[in-house]
């Protein structure tokens, strides 16, 4: 599996690189970062950006084992939802994660950065799971469990439960010569 993380607009490239480094210790995939992509989409009346519009701007994966996840500072919205931490478009092999609601509201700066990094890693894995065909998991510690509030994200582990890992193991393997 090849996962490319794409910093969008003002997302800190250093944080995106830290997410990539952390995820390399969690999943056995090739994880890279790309140069930043600027999109400048207008927000709605609340200043939120449509996640589907962002997803359409990301480079789609042309192969079954190649996907990209954008990371943005923008607050995202999706049809029928007030906000989303992230959103996926499996058909294009893309996903997007918003850092906006993942930032701790108080606390020491160093602790806040660690919390943001951990939350961002979990949300990137969650959206990657959706891109790969996983649905929400009933196991509240699994990264694929639905997060209705940030406390749900904090309870999750940064990894897939055995059932979701089993689903992922059924995916066709990529070959370097394809």
Active site residues: 127
- Give CA–CA dist 120/88, Å, rounded: 15
Task: Name the helix (H) or strand (E) containing 127.
Answer: helix 109-131
Establish how many alpha carbons lie within 13 A of residue 154's alpha carbon, considering only the half-sphere containing its beta carbon: 11
Q: Is 146 exposed, middle or buried (0-12, 13-18, 19+ CB in 10 A)?
A: exposed
């Amino acid at each position: 599996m090849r996962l490319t993380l794409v910093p969008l607009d003002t997302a800190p490239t250093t944080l995106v690189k830290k997410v990539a480094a952390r995820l390399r210790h969690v999943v056995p995939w090739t994880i890279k970062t790309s140069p930043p992509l600027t999109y400048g989409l207008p927000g709605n009346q609340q200043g939120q950006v449509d996640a589907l519009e962002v997803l359409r701007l990301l480079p789609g994966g042309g192969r079954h084992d190649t996907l990209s996840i954008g990371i943005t500072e923008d607050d995202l919205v999706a049809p029928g939802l007030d906000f989303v931490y992230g959103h996926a478009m499996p058909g294009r092999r893309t996903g997007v994660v918003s850092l906006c609601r993942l930032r701790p509201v108080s606390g020491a700066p160093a602790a806040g950065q660690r919390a943001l990094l951990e939350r961002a890693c979990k949300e990137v894995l969650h959206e990657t799971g959706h891109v790969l065909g996983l649905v929400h998991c009933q196991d509240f510690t699994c990264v694929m469990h639905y997060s209705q509030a940030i406390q749900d994200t904090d309870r999750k582990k940064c990894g897939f439960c055995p059932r979701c890992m089993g689903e992922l193991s059924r995916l066709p393997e990529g070959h370097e010569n394809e």
